[in-house]
Structure 1
Amino acid sequence: MGGPRDEDPPVVLEMYPADQSLNQNPEEILIVFDEYIKLDNPNKNIIITPKLDKDELIVTSLKNTIKIELNQELEDNTTYVFNFQKSVEDLSEGNPTENLKLVFSTGDSIDSLTFSGTVNNYFPERGFEYENVIVGLYEKNDTTDLFTAQPYYLSQADSLGKFMISNIKAGDYRAYAWNDQNNTLKGEYKSEIYDFILDTISITQNIDGVNFNLSKADLTELKLTRSSAAGSNYDLVFNKDPLNIELKNELLGQDIFYTVGDKRITLYSKETKADSLLFEIKAQDSLSFKVDTAIYAKFPESERRKEDLTFTANSGKNFYQDLLIELSFNKPVMDINYDSLFVSYDTASFIQINPEMVRMEDSLKRDKLQIILTIPDTLSKEIFTIKAADSTFLDIENQYNKAVLSANYRKLKRETLADKLSGTITGAKGPFIIQLIDTKSQINKELYLSEGNAFTLTLIEPATYKIRVIEDSNGNRRWDPANFKEKRHAERVFYFIDPKTNTQDIIVKAGWTVEDVLIKATPQTGLQNSEITPVDN
């Protein structure tokens, strides 16, 4: 009482077995400290390699001693590492003991090989922490992988994504990395990001410069789980959202239209049909899993209450000269009363919308409407409002919109915009998708670069941005995730890094021209040291 605050971590007085000792086969581990201690989440924070069955371990702390009851046989001629990280704290102030390891061998030598490198996240989200990322090695002949069992050797990455697995026995291994959110020491492909090295790696010397690029890829195969009438409509329900959809029927786009959402396709018919209609269905997800089938759909009379026609608008968007208004409906829209559809820019002035200004994004769906206007600089108003009265839009079920539409858009002045942002991409081969990302993680501008590696973006709103580049290897104008079953990596994603601040932020101000921006591609997944040669799988 009254003395200085204890800032010293616990100090180890004794270990059993002793650190770096040989020919050990203990039934329990004992570590004695110079003060009373406590354990912080030992199941997660104590990393043991090679793998032991953690369900059999009993880890306790009493006063100044940690005891680990193993309750299982150890492998012969094997080096075991108990890495306590920051799990041991003093009882009074919670000061953690750092770099606490116990290494011993059941044979007459200590394995000393290392496997180290960096983990990268293609699409980092707020709150993501590299410390939750596990890098694991599985023995070549092990039939399990990151989704079915914990690895033979493992390590956690640090806050910068660096990792090292130490005390490895020479041999052939398969390597994986994943964000272990649920602390199971296994990957969950539906919810966790992960990556893998394609080839089996022969570890006969220390390996450094390994790179993993984490991203999400749901390995669930796409399936049509149900097809049935829903009132006078017809639903096709999938187990996940399809990406590409192709429907074939002679009435499609004439009497029959469809919408897509929430893992389902809903078919709508203008009129009831006495007979079932044959539809050919082809669907594909982002991992190229496919559904190719045919169904007979019915469109009977129904007393079920029709769903109201609703819409959303891309309101709040800023624009310069070209105003793009997008309206999304919950059902196909068949008719528009243009007399009550207009854009106002003050209390007495408006622009009447006519059919030439309107297009449907997909004529087979008719649920996304685009209105394109060019507003000249001579019209010096700032706020433009799209307005529509009730009963402006009529859907396929003869339902009018009940809500009125009023959505605002702000016109920018030329002098408030940055003139140009240009640069080059190195270390990758196009085509490229170049995206300017704002502080809300929204895409402000996007450019598709078919050839070359030099890009230019013009007339940019002043703000702080990130520049994201997608290496579109197959030229389909979208990012493709990894396919673990087909041993195919995700398309690379990388960002501009400011060499002065070492951040991804790039500041753009009114009237500025930002040139010579150099975007360096992050390394591909795998071994970056050319002297290390993978072995055949």
Structure 2
Amino acid sequence: MGGPRDEEPPKLLSINPGNESINIKPNIIELEFDEYVQVENANKQIIITPRIKKEEMEVVANRNKITIKLNQELEDSTTYVFNFQKTIKDITEKNTPENLKLVFSTGPEIDSLKFSGNVAYIFPLREPKIKDVFVGLYEVSDTTDVLTAPPYYIAATDSIGNFTLTNIKAGKYKAYAWHDANNSLKAEEKQEAYAFIKDTITITEDIEGTQFYLSKADLSEFKVTRSSAIGSNFDVVLSKYPVAIEIEHDQINKGLYYRQNDKTLRFYHTDLINDSTAITLHLRDSVGFQVDTLIYAKFEESDRKKEVLETAIEGKRNFVDKLRTELKFNKPIGKIQYDSLFFKYDSATIVPIQKEWIFLKDSADLTKLIIEWHVPDSINNETFNFFAADSTFYDIENQTNEKKVESAYKRLKKETLAEEIQVKVNTTHLPIIVQILNSKEELIAEQYITDSNQAVFTYIEAGTYNIRAILDLNKNGRWDTSNMKEGRHAEPVYYLENINDNNSRETTIRGGWVLDLMIEPKKAAGLPQENREDDDTKPVKEPENEKNIVDN
């Protein structure tokens, strides 16, 4: 009250030891300001390189002075940098001094080497500004890494991902970047995205232009944590979610069935009672770790009530020529009653669904059905309904859906749609996954191209989209994250960017348009001299085509 709001940050009057002092090993650092100050989260907010034991450090504010007691011996012939970030604030409006740093050396010289570049997310976030992202260097002799301990040298990125580590001693290092949401100065592998440079970095001169791409990669052990009979079924519980499942058994989908629910595989057997059978599992997690194991599943007679069959409808609710219904069940499906399964339009016209219209994406997984109907041009209606009465679907335990299942679909007019979208990817690497996503990041269209670098999409609704290309380096039909233990970067993802709109990733598509678009590769991960695209691949089984369902 009584005056304008204080918007001026505290001004540093003196600092001891002086900035860029040499041949000193202080135990106490003192800063004096022109007004009363306070400190917040000093042991977390103050970035000190090289690494010291910050838990032993004491930071005290007294009026206009800050006193730091290090309480430890510093290394010989080493340049230390104290970056105070937003630790020190005035006590009235919490204004923070900008770029407040202290540099000194315990030897005769100030190390002056720099390591700089950029950090980006491989899948961009909705919030364009990057925050809580750090880059760190570990000495090559250090047995720790970004997942186990803070680095030797560390720096925060700015809001667009640029970083500079300064005052580095010449030597060999390992380099990492990570999102540090909990301010632990290391990455939590199950929650936080991180990246790495594959090779040892020799720093004898300034290095500029290094590129990191952040993605989550859980490197914890992939294993079977528990297996046991559950009622008349048998559960196998895994430590992580499997992205690929292959089951070897001579009765798969003939007497033995399974379903996946997050990290649990549940097996069913329609014939075997009070006996066991050997099942071979080949499982792969998101970082490429493999589990190949033999389990003995016992199926016991049980009075336990069987799980109720539940049905959900997935996928898009509009179409052009082909009406596609995607059904997801909580249990494997064994039989369908076709006389209560149909599409309908008008108030009374029905079209019975034929057996040949029903498909499986995966011949071993009977929990997902796809129904496709090529709607004749002679039908002029815009609105259609899928309908399945109760007791239409029977699971392999002979349970049926207790409620009817229905959903409405809208037929789009071709004149309101973009006629053709040609998307070229400026790379020689094949295969490529080309995707069109809406503003909610929902997948609208996708093509897997193997013979050329061009995908062609027809009849796309007017709207604003993101268009991207994923280089499928290991040819397994999906994007794969990094694996630091194997020295493998995440597969590159390129976005279509509008250079006339501040490199915006949004692409506007209007009805009647024919577009010819080019996606340019982004800067390769790693040091500037590394090749543009990685070649580390691991052959895996090609994804299976959709199969016809065969009733029991």
Give the TM-score normalised by the residue count of structure 1.
0.95
Q: Deviations over 1:306-333 (max 9, x none)?
A: 1100011026522111111110111111
Contact 1:119 1:157 in 2 (8 A): yes
Contact 2:43 2:55 in 1 (8 A): no
Q: Structure 1 187/530 Cα, relative in aligned 2: closer, same or farther at 3 Å? A: closer
Q: Deviations over 1:124-150 (max 9, x none)?
A: 344585221111001111111111211
Q: Structure 1 417/151 Cα, relative in aligned 2: closer, same or farther at 3 Å? A: same
CA displacement at 1:342 relative to structure 2: 1.2
Q: For residue 109 of structure 2, what is the aligned residue in structure 1?
A: 109
Q: Structure 1: how far apart are the matches of 2:193 and 2:140?
A: 23
Q: Structure 2: how far apart are the matches of 1:16 and 1:506?
A: 55
Q: Structure 2: how far apart are the matches of 1:313 and 1:524?
A: 40
Alignment of 1:105-504 (within 5 A): 105-126=105-126, 130-314=130-314, 317-426=317-426, 429-501=429-501, 502-504=503-505
Q: Structure 1: how far apart are the matches of 2:403 and 2:455?
A: 43
Does the residue aligned with 2:339 lie in a helix, a strand or coil?
helix
Q: How many residues matched?
A: 530
In the alignment, residue 507 of structure 1 is paired with which amino acid?
T
Q: Structure 1: how far apart are the matches of 2:227 and 2:63?
A: 63
Contact 2:274 2:301 in 1 (8 A): no
Q: Deviations over 1:92-115 (max 9, x none)?
A: 222221111111111111111100
Q: For residue 538 of structure 2, what is the aligned residue in structure 1?
A: none
Q: Structure 1: how far apart are the matches of 2:527 and 2:250?
A: 53
Q: For residue 62 of structure 2, what is the aligned residue in structure 1?
A: 62
In the alignment, residue 152 of structure 1 is paired with which amino acid?
Y
Does the residue aligned with 1:485 lie in a helix, a strand or coil?
helix
Identity of aligned residues (%): 47
Q: Structure 1: how far apart are the matches of 2:79 and 2:391?
A: 76
- The reply on whether 1:33 has 2:36 as its aligned counterpart is no
Q: Structure 1 423/282 Cα, relative in aligned 2: closer, same or farther at 3 Å? A: closer
CA displacement at 1:31 relative to structure 2: 0.9
* Higher alpha-carbon deviation: 449-458 or 193-202: 449-458
Q: Structure 1: how far apart are the matches of 2:364 and 2:151?
A: 49
Q: For residue 512 of structure 2, what is the aligned residue in structure 1?
A: 511
Q: For residue 534 of structure 1, what is the aligned residue in structure 2?
A: none
In the alignment, residue 514 of structure 2 is paired with which amino acid?
T
* Higher alpha-carbon deviation: 154-163 or 485-494: 485-494
* Higher alpha-carbon deviation: 426-435 or 57-66: 426-435
Q: Structure 2: how far apart are the matches of 1:96 and 1:287?
A: 42
Does the residue aligned with 2:369 lie in a helix, a strand or coil?
strand
CA displacement at 1:360 relative to structure 2: 3.0
Does the residue aligned with 1:369 lie in a helix, a strand or coil?
strand
* Higher alpha-carbon deviation: 82-91 or 234-243: 82-91
Does the residue aligned with 1:415 lie in a helix, a strand or coil?
helix
Q: Structure 2: how far apart are the matches of 1:61 and 1:353?
A: 77
Q: For residue 98 of structure 1, what is the aligned residue in structure 2?
A: 98
In the alignment, residue 311 of structure 2 is paired with which amino acid?
F
* Higher alpha-carbon deviation: 101-110 or 291-300: 291-300
* Higher alpha-carbon deviation: 200-209 or 332-341: 332-341
Q: Structure 2: how far apart are the matches of 1:42 and 1:167?
A: 22
Superposition RMSD in Å? 1.8
Q: Structure 1 129/150 Cα, relative in aligned 2: closer, same or farther at 3 Å? A: farther
- The reply on whether 1:18 has 2:18 as its aligned counterpart is yes
Q: Structure 2: how far apart are the matches of 1:300 and 1:478?
A: 38
Q: Structure 2: how far apart are the matches of 1:453 and 1:270?
A: 47
* Higher alpha-carbon deviation: 195-204 or 4-13: 4-13
Q: Structure 2: how far apart are the matches of 1:390 and 1:102?
A: 73
* Higher alpha-carbon deviation: 351-360 or 35-44: 35-44
Does the residue aligned with 1:356 lie in a helix, a strand or coil?
helix
Does the residue aligned with 2:415 lie in a helix, a strand or coil?
helix
Does the residue aligned with 1:55 lie in a helix, a strand or coil?
helix
In the alignment, residue 66 of structure 2 is paired with which amino acid?
I
Contact 2:427 2:453 in 1 (8 A): no
Q: Structure 1: how far apart are the matches of 2:339 and 2:423?
A: 47
Q: Structure 2: how far apart are the matches of 1:411 and 1:66?
A: 70
Contact 1:235 1:267 in 2 (8 A): yes
CA displacement at 1:67 relative to structure 2: 1.6
Q: Structure 2: how far apart are the matches of 1:170 and 1:128?
A: 35
In the alignment, residue 11 of structure 1 is paired with which amino acid?
K
CA displacement at 1:379 relative to structure 2: 2.4
CA displacement at 1:452 relative to structure 2: 3.2
Contact 1:428 1:471 in 2 (8 A): no
In the alignment, residue 486 of structure 1 is paired with which amino acid?
E
Q: Structure 2: how far apart are the matches of 1:64 and 1:518?
A: 58
Contact 2:468 2:519 in 1 (8 A): no
Does the residue aligned with 1:143 lie in a helix, a strand or coil?
coil
Q: Deviations over 1:462-505 (max 9, x none)?
A: 11111121111122221122111111111111211210112111
Q: Deviations over 1:285-316 (max 9, x none)?
A: 23332222222222221100111000110265
Q: Structure 2: how far apart are the matches of 1:434 and 1:172?
A: 39
Q: Structure 1 62/403 Cα, relative in aligned 2: closer, same or farther at 3 Å? A: farther
Does the residue aligned with 1:418 lie in a helix, a strand or coil?
strand
Q: Structure 1 128/28 Cα, relative in aligned 2: closer, same or farther at 3 Å? A: farther
In the alignment, residue 481 of structure 1 is paired with which amino acid?
T
Q: Structure 2: how far apart are the matches of 1:45 and 1:450?
A: 49
In the alignment, residue 483 of structure 2 is paired with which amino acid?
N
Contact 2:436 2:443 in 1 (8 A): yes
In the alignment, residue 508 of structure 1 is paired with which amino acid?
I
In the alignment, residue 239 of structure 1 is paired with which amino acid?
S
Q: Deviations over 1:351-393 (max 9, x none)?
A: 2112122123334332111110112344232222211111111
Q: Structure 1: how far apart are the matches of 2:446 and 2:475?
A: 15
Give the TM-score normalised by the residue count of structure 2.
0.92
CA displacement at 1:207 relative to structure 2: 0.6
Q: Structure 1: how far apart are the matches of 2:274 and 2:142?
A: 58
Contact 1:383 1:409 in 2 (8 A): yes
Q: Structure 1 363/200 Cα, relative in aligned 2: closer, same or farther at 3 Å? A: closer
Contact 1:119 1:211 in 2 (8 A): yes
Contact 2:43 2:57 in 1 (8 A): no
* Higher alpha-carbon deviation: 371-380 or 161-170: 371-380
Q: Structure 1: how far apart are the matches of 2:88 and 2:317?
A: 52
